[in-house]
Amino acid sequence: MKQSRRNALKAGAALAASTALPRFAIAQGGTVKIGMSMPQTGSLGAGGQAALLALRMWVDEVNVRGGLLGKRVEFIVYDDQTNPANTPGIYTKLLDVDKVDLLIAPYGTVPTAPIMPLVKERRKLLMGNFSFQVNAKVQHDMWFNNSPWNDATSWSDGFFRAGTKAGAKTTAILAADNDFAQSLANGARTLAKKGGIKVVYDQNYPPATTDFSSLIRAIRAAKPEMVFVMSYPNDSVAIIRAVNEIGLGSQVQVFGGGMVGLQFTPIMSSLGGLLNGVLNYNSYVPGMKYPGIEDFLKRYAARAKDAKVDPLGFYLPPFNYAIGQMLEQAVNGTNSIEDAKLAAYLKKTELRTVVGPIKFGKDGEWASARVVQAQFRGIADKDVEQFRSPNKQVVIYPDAYKTGEAITPFEKARKAK
């Protein structure tokens, strides 16, 4: 748990000191405190660091504009190390020791799930951060998620369609035993049943698993035509490597689906050519037309270079910046920082963000989903900049963003340019 309070204060002080920037009603008395924990180390760490940079960008920019309600925004962040056991303590501390006004959730389902009951009990608004179905059981009415998916259908549909289009009738399901993967796997099983797809292999693995060669062998023996994997970054990397070591068999049409981490720039560049042919989800790939995204990515890239973080900033940063934008609109729209008032505003308003318009539906998730399934093609090793080109990740679903068809079977897609 690293205390980034000093960094936040330093940024604020530097900003106030820089006379070159236009000054509006810069806060004289009082601050608005926004607090969160962010996984900056551990499995989600690579993604979390990029996401955090985008949030800091927003905090700095909003303070230049005069802060929220005329008060400077103070940003307090801790590192939860992707460990769900750490977040209840951190959020209790944020509320009782740091006395923050507004809460943002940590990036990811796994660190967020434990704090849902706590936040509901304390009647606090929580801005969700790329969690999947984490509010389904708790039903907190002040939860608003920034991720472009809602239920399992929005996610799995594209993957299954690509497979069945190629004639696949069977699937394997390999899921980590954590909140995210289990929710997604449950949804996938229901969808498979509805679509007449037979599940020939269905296994969970504990999150600490590092060697997947036995599991991949067992999958291969089951001869599935689709392999749907729901994994967290460390496992995603290990699974990709194991698939390259052991092989899945020539009958597999599509492989991937729900592998977190293959969207993080450091992981993409370290896996390189091993990614070819993998059909996986994403929130944004180059080429998708969101208003304002190009400008955001440019501003982000400049800061990322100094901070030595993910230089591309595709997957999480735009959506984390959007959290800030949504909070700003809600605070300005209600002229208050009271959780209940902000929640009411967010529920009924269509918000304008750098990833397009966001309207919330059931359970605080998006009314209409926008998650894409894209296939990696022609990736070379050790080249980060190649990922800026749109044809390295070909979007095959949904139709609104489609740029090509999936190449099947998987073995063929691995060799395609």
Partner 1 sequence: MKFWISCLVVALAAGGLAISGINEYFFFAAFVVLTYIVLATAWNILGGYAGYVNFGTSAFFGAGAYAAVVLFQALGAPLAVQIAAGALTGAALGFGVGVMTLRLRGIFFAIATVAVVFIMETLMINWRYVGGATGLQLQRPEVMAPFTTYARMLFVVMTLMAITAVGIARYIQTSWLGRGLRAVRDSEEAAEANGVPTLRLKLIACVVSGALMGAAGAPMPMYLSFIEPASTFSLNYAIGALAAPMIGGTIHWLGPVIGAIVLASLQQIVTVTISGEINVLVVGVLLVLFVILAPDGILGLFRKWLKSSSR
Partner 2 sequence: MIFSFDLLFEAVLFGVLLGCFYAAVSIGLSVSFGLLDVPNVAHPAVMIVGSYFTYVLCSYGFDPIVAGVVLMPVFFVLGVLLYRFYYESFEKRGTEAGVRGLAFFFGIAFILEIALILGFGVDQRSVQAEYIGSSWELGEYRIPYRMLVAFGVALVLTASLTLYLSKTFTGRAIKAVAQDEPALRLMGANPVRIKQWAFGIATGVSALAGAMVIIIGPVEPAMDRIFIGRTFCVVVLAGLGSMTGTLGAGLILGISESIVLMFFGASWAPAVAFGLLLIVLGIRPQGLFGR
Judged by CB, which is closer to partner 2: 58, or 212? 212
SS (H, E, C) 262-293: CCCHHHHHHHHHHHCCCEEEECCCCCCCCCCH
363 is a site residue for partner 1 (CB under 8 A) = no
Task: Supply φ then ψ for residue 363, to 5 degrees.
Answer: 60, 15
Q: Pattern of binders to partner 1 over 134-163, x per CB under 8 A?
A: ---xx-------------------------
Which one of the spans 107-115, 163-171, 257-265, 368-376 is the region binding partner 1 (CB under 8 A)?
107-115
Q: What is the CA radius of gyration of the chain?
A: 21
Q: Which of 70, 89, 333, 378 binds partner 1 (CB under 8 A)?
A: 89
308 is a site residue for partner 2 (CB under 8 A) = no
Q: Which of 32, 34, 55, 215 binds partner 2 (CB under 8 A)?
A: 215
CA gap 76, 5 in Å, rounded: 5
Name which of partner 2, partner 1, none residue 221 binds, using a CB cut-off of 5 to 8 Å depending on partner kind: partner 2
Q: Which of 96, 245, 294, 381 binds partner 1 (CB under 8 A)?
A: 96
CA gap 213, 210 in Å, rounded: 9
Judged by CB, which is closer to partner 2: 45, or 409? 45
CA distances to 5, 207, 373 from 154, rounded to whole Å, are 38, 25, 10
CA distances to 19, 90, 200 from 176, rounded to whole Å, are 51, 25, 17
Name which of partner 1, partner 2, none residue 45 binds, using a CB cut-off of 5 to 8 Å depending on partner kind: partner 2
Judged by CB, which is closer to partner 1: 84, or 158? 84
For tokens 């900049």, name the residue.
Answer: 385
Q: Which of 4, 37, 49, 81 binds partner 2 (CB under 8 A)?
A: 81
117 is a site residue for partner 1 (CB under 8 A) = yes
Judged by CB, which is closer to partner 1: 176, or 192? 176
Name which of partner 2, partner 1, none residue 380 binds, using a CB cut-off of 5 to 8 Å depending on partner kind: none
Which of 109, 64, 228 is closest to 160 using CA atoms? Answer: 228
Residue 126 Cα to chain centre, angstroms: 16
43 is a site residue for partner 1 (CB under 8 A) = no
172 is a site residue for partner 2 (CB under 8 A) = no
Judged by CB, which is closer to partner 1: 17, or 208? 208
Which of 191, 243, 184 is closest to 212 using CA atoms? Answer: 243
SS (H, E, C) 296-333: HHHHHHHHHHHHCCCCCCCCCHHHHHHHHHHHHHHHHH
Q: Are 239 and 210 in contact (CB under 8 A)?
A: no
Question: Is the CA virtual torsion 280, 196, 253, 288 positive or negative?
Answer: negative
Q: Pattern of binders to partner 1 over 59-78, x per CB under 8 A?
A: --------------------
Question: Residue 245, Cβ neighbours under 10 Å: how many?
Answer: 10
CA gap 270, 237 in Å, rounded: 9
Q: Which of 182, 204, 349, 403 binds partner 2 (CB under 8 A)?
A: 204
Q: Which of 43, 131, 156, 178 binds partner 1 (CB under 8 A)?
A: 178
How many residues form the binding site for partner 2 (CB under 8 A)? 29
CA gap 242, 233 in Å, rounded: 14
Name which of partner 2, partner 1, none residue 344 binds, using a CB cut-off of 5 to 8 Å depending on partner kind: none
Judged by CB, which is closer to partner 2: 86, or 375? 86
Q: How far is the CB of 42 from partner 2 (least distance, A)?
A: 5
> What residues numbered 186-245 form the site for partner 1, per CB under 8 A?
204, 206-208
Q: How far is the CB of 42 from partner 1 (least distance, A)?
A: 12
**Could you tell me the two tokens for 17?**
């000191």
CA gap 244, 267 in Å, rounded: 16
CA gap 204, 38 in Å, rounded: 26
> What residues numbered 291-320 form the site for partner 1, per CB under 8 A?
none
Q: Contact residues for partner 2 (CB under 8 A)?
A: 41-42, 45, 81, 83, 177, 201, 203-206, 208-211, 213-215, 217-218, 221-222, 234, 238, 241, 244-247
Q: Contact residues for partner 1 (CB under 8 A)?
A: 1-3, 81, 83-86, 88-89, 92-93, 95-97, 113-118, 120-121, 137-138, 177-179, 182, 204, 206-208
